[in-house]
Amino acid sequence: MINLPNLFTLLRVALTPVVAWAILSGRPALAMSLFGAAALTDYLDGAAARRMHLGTQTGAVLDPIADKILLSGVFLAQAAAGIVPWWFVAIVFGRDLYIVLGAGAMLLATPIRRFPPSIWGKVSTCVQIGAALAWMVRNIWNFWFWNGLARAGLWICAGFTLWSGVHYTWRGIQTIRTLPRRSH
């Protein structure tokens, strides 16, 4: 269903290749502005869904996918441009792939069909947005303060990203344990 919150979500997806192009074209101010607008749509879609009572199952599925598309696109472009290290991109992508594979396994092997986001997943997304912005700001104003903030943000982001993967694992195990046991 297309409604205002879902339009904001789709706008975030549509902005992703433009942000990546700006990063790869060496236009850091444009990239930061576009990324800021895209990140704002993450807030706006949720706020509109809550305030206008327009939350849908489609939106619940599309929102985290749009977040992953935006952040993955930005981090890939930043790594390709030599801005962030590839090991960091591997952590972000590895965690996302791990979660998708785990959810797929649960879909195949259990009756579980709902995978709501965890608080640590949401925190990880916010920290990833902050890390991406910090590196964009560093590319515009490259001096010691922004260098230090961007580097610290990278490690903090890697920690939260890994921790959220651990938390999703723990939560998945707990959910599976609540399933009724089959008798043989």
Domain locations in the chain? 4-177
CA distance 103 to 155: 27
State what percent of residues in the chain have pLDDT above 70.
98
Residue-level pLDDT at 119: 93
Checking phi first, is residue 173 left (phi over 0); if not, alpha (psi -120 to 50) or beta?
A: alpha
Hey, what are 110's tokens?
């259990």
Contacts of 28 (CB under 8 A, 6+ apart): 22, 136, 139, 140
Residue-level pLDDT at 85: 96
Q: How far is CA 86 from CA 138, 146, 160, in A?
A: 18, 20, 17
Hey, what are 84's tokens?
């962030």
pLDDT(182) > 80? no
Instruction: Please provide the average confidence, as pLDDT, over all residues in the chain.
Output: 91
* Higher pLDDT pick, 59 / 67: 67
Q: Which CATH architecture has domain 4-177?
A: Up-down Bundle (1.20)
Cα 31 to chain centroid, rounded: 17
Reported pTM: 0.88
Residue-level pLDDT at 2: 82
pLDDT(183) > 80? no
